Structure 1
Amino acid sequence: MTPTAPISRRTLVASGAVGAALGAAALTAPAARADAGYTNPVIATNQPDPGVLRVGQRYYLYSTAGAAGNMPVLVSPNLVTWRLLGDGQPEIAAWANRGRHWAPEMIEVDGRYHAYYTAWERATDRQAIGVAIADRPEGPFVDGADAPLLSTPEEGGCIDASPFRDEDGGLWLLWKNDGNAADQDSFLFVQRLADDGLSLVGERSIALERDQDWEIYTIEGPAVIAHEGRYLLFYSAGEYWNETYGVGVAVADAVRGPWTKLSDQPVLAANEVAAGPGHGMPVRTADGIWYVYHAWQPDHVGEDPGRQIWISKVQVGADAVTIDGPAIDNPRRPRIDRRG
């Protein structure tokens, strides 16, 4: 098994030039050359593990802790131009230690916003999953619980929580056991959430495991989207700190599965302009699905400016799913439905 990466893996870059850049109101890369096109990265600062939520006419992006706080929050009207709002969770939960605040993802439940996030559990010294609630999508998110929503120290901990609302209204949670932090294997799990989103019900199921050559080290970062009567599960695998990291896709007829991987190769992989693309989220727009993800500059892996935010169009066929790019220059922006 590949040696375990440092425990601080999701906060590799959080200071220096990145910290200075975060002081600016606008965090986008140079503006697109024309209204029809855009330039990647769309966020030029370190924002690992992005989760995206649409509320009205705005998209909110949340990322792993860094220079902007425990839960950086950015906002955009179009997935291309972004503005920093601040720290969405300035106060951590009573059960958590400071540091290792990772990969928040959001969902609306009964008019409020739930953040499912990873934090360092004091009682176990492992990563655990909590849920924090806010009245507004920008926060502040508050986790008033005495214990995390999910804690599995015997499996190395748990990370990368991803909530999903099915078309029938049912809530689900996907996550990864952090086995690579404890010399164990990692799996992606799925389990039903209670209607209020504050507890897990029933039994969990294994959604995916590492069974392909490119999925070295770990499998993580799950995110589900419904599409034309099926469910697509985007996930990342490989070693996040180098060019082996990439994105795979699985398909199922039900959220619980069984899930079938659509390719034995990543559908989004490193190239000459982006290293280690992954841990993102599929986002529905008026012209289909786009994938919002992080990637390193190939000659600055593990260094400033860190893992920047890119977007790429998803192409869905009858038997295959692909993701365009990564590409710096792109001829068409996402088409946003302003009626939504």
Structure 2
Amino acid sequence: MKHVPIIRFLRTLFLALAAAAAVSVSAQPNGSAVLPTNFPDPFVLVHGGRYYAYATNANGANVPMAFSNDLRSWNLLAVPNNPNAFHDAMPTLPAWAARGRTWAPEVLRVGNNFILYFTAHHRGRDQQCIGAAVSRDPRGPFVPRGGDPMVCQHRLGGTIDANPFRDSDGQLYLYFKNDGNHPSARTATHLWGQRMAADGLSLVGEPAALVRNDAGWEGHLVEAPFMVRRGERYVMFFSANDYAWQRHQRLSNYATGYAACTTPLGPCTDSAANPILASQRRPLCLSGPGHPAVFEAGGRQYIAFHAWAARRNCSPAGDARFLHIAPLNWNGDVPVIGLAGR
């Protein structure tokens, strides 16, 4: 009988902690930086009750990773027994790829495999191309598949920014950008979509051009596609313009918009409200918010993106892009990004 109060106390404490954790997940992300270190082109995977984030090469890793248990506290994934060495989800690149330009990784689970889609520099072409790598663990190591890139539009400047998408019928698609702003091409940039085979490791049929840089705010490029299904329609988020924060600029011109699509392969129509996420000084300083990635947690949607490191007066604070997370709400089929102060 003496143990009953202790058991009740522990049970009460457990329920209180669980409730507190649930509150922190739903209330904390508000668009501010959750990882104040260089972590560009972020993608968030939810698996096993944890959140894994992947980024463009940084800190000596081809594919650096961060993790969180609650969306509130994020840490870079380190090498076991060596906290000063950063974990690399894909330590070995394919033979066609050179180190130093491994960009914008995204991960999709297919069966028992996790497939990492990445952009890397083609040794022989001096262009960026897209490859795929496989692991049984979301932390890797991911092992590249195939002796050649999965897709590389050589005549259109190369290919970057892969986004895998599974539709409600199970069909897989891959979205990407032709790197038309590359000096070897100097042509228009499009966002493309193409079906993938059931194993997620090869493309099927022909690609469809869905979005191009034809609006003033987009500048000379569109990139970073991310497809989401809304009922019977589809919404493709994307970023546009020069990603950099030039020293002569008050804020970066990089911004994020969306297009409404009738099917996974179009046609797609840019929103007249674009951009829906752009640089601002107040109430939350954001410079160059872009490369969107949507995920679900606790029954609601969030959008991850990067923005440039900034001082309190909203001026540049070094050459780093931080991970930001904000709630993604919807007004019908219109996305609404919830930022602090709005």
Q: Same fold (TM over 0.5)?
A: yes
Deviation of residue 68 (structure 1)? 4.5
Q: Which residue pairs with 1:125 in the alignment?
A: 126
Instruction: Name the larger-Rg structure.
Output: 2
Give me the whole-angstrom Cα distance separating, in 2, the residues matched to 1:158 and 1:307: 22
Give me the whole-angstrom Cα distance separating, in 1, the residues matched to 2:234 and 2:48: 24
Deviation of residue 252 (structure 1)? 1.9
Question: Which one of the candidate residues 287, 307, 324 is aligned to 1:275?
Answer: 287
Greater shift after overlay, 159-168 or 264-273? 264-273
Q: 1:68 to 1:227 in 2, by over 3 A?
A: farther
Contact map agreement 2:29 2:326 (CA 8 A) in 1: no
Question: Which one of the candidate residues 41, 48, 66 is aligned to 2:58?
Answer: 66
Give me the whole-angstrom Cα distance separating, in 1, the residues matched to 2:112 and 2:275: 37
Deviation of residue 37 (structure 1)? 3.5
Matched residue SS, 2:121: strand
Say whether 1:223 aligns with 2:189: no
Contact map agreement 1:262 1:319 (CA 8 A) in 2: no
Deviations, residues 37-63 of structure 1 (Å, cap 9, x unaligned): 357210100100011111121111100
Contact map agreement 2:280 2:286 (CA 8 A) in 1: yes
Give me the whole-angstrom Cα distance separating, in 2, the residues matched to 1:143 and 1:268: 34
Give the partner amino acid of 1:37.
Q
Deviation of residue 156 (structure 1)? 0.7
Counterparts of 1:135-150 in structure 2, within 5 Å, are: 135-150=136-151
Counterparts of 1:12-31 in structure 2, within 5 Å, are: none
Matched residue SS, 2:76: strand
Give me the whole-angstrom Cα distance separating, in 1, the residues matched to 2:272 and 2:335: 9
Contact map agreement 1:249 1:263 (CA 8 A) in 2: no
Give me the whole-angstrom Cα distance separating, in 1, the residues matched to 2:163 and 2:266: 16
Q: 1:38 to 1:312 in 2, by over 3 A?
A: closer
Say whether 1:37 aligns with 2:19: no
Give the partner amino acid of 1:290.
Y
Say whether 1:265 aligns with 2:274: yes
Give me the whole-angstrom Cα distance separating, in 1, the residues matched to 2:111 and 2:29: 35
Q: 1:37 to 1:195 in 2, by over 3 A?
A: closer
Deviations, residues 139-183 of structure 1 (Å, cap 9, x unaligned): 001114211111222111100000001111111000000110132
Deviations, residues 264-294 of structure 1 (Å, cap 9, x unaligned): 4300010111100010201123453211000
Q: Which residue pairs with 1:77 in the alignment?
A: 69
Q: Which residue pairs with 2:205 in the alignment?
A: 202
Q: Name structure 2 gaps, 5 residues minimum.
A: 1-22, 78-86, 246-251
Deviation of residue 185 (structure 1)? 1.4
Give me the whole-angstrom Cα distance separating, in 1, the residues matched to 2:189 and 2:102: 20
Say whether 1:256 aligns with 2:259: no
Deviation of residue 319 (structure 1)? 5.3
Q: 1:160 to 1:301 in 2, by over 3 A?
A: farther
Contact map agreement 1:276 1:295 (CA 8 A) in 2: yes
Deviation of residue 302 (structure 1)? 7.0
Give me the whole-angstrom Cα distance separating, in 2, the residues matched to 1:319 and 1:200: 29
Say whether 1:244 aligns with 2:253: yes
Give the partner amino acid of 1:258.
P
Contact map agreement 2:226 2:237 (CA 8 A) in 1: yes
Matched residue SS, 1:239: coil
Q: 1:119 to 1:302 in 2, by over 3 A?
A: farther
Say whether 1:53 aligns with 2:45: yes
Contact map agreement 1:212 1:264 (CA 8 A) in 2: no
Structure having the larger proportion of residues in helix: 2
Give me the whole-angstrom Cα distance separating, in 2, the residues matched to 1:253 and 1:81: 38
Give me the whole-angstrom Cα distance separating, in 1, the residues matched to 2:333 and 2:172: 27
Aligned residues: 296
Q: What RMSD, in angstroms, separates the aligned Cα atoms of the two structures?
A: 2.1
Give the partner amino acid of 2:197.
A
- Taking structure 2 as the reference length, what is the TM-score of the superposition? 0.82
Give me the whole-angstrom Cα distance separating, in 2, the residues matched to 1:68 and 1:221: 23
Q: Name structure 1 gaps, 5 residues minimum.
A: 1-33, 331-340
Q: Which residue pairs with 2:334 in the alignment?
A: 320
Matched residue SS, 2:181: helix
Counterparts of 1:163-182 in structure 2, within 5 Å, are: 163-182=164-183
Say whether 1:296 aligns with 2:308: yes
Deviation of residue 82 (structure 1)? 1.4
Contact map agreement 1:94 1:144 (CA 8 A) in 2: no
Contact map agreement 1:92 1:98 (CA 8 A) in 2: yes
Matched residue SS, 2:57: coil
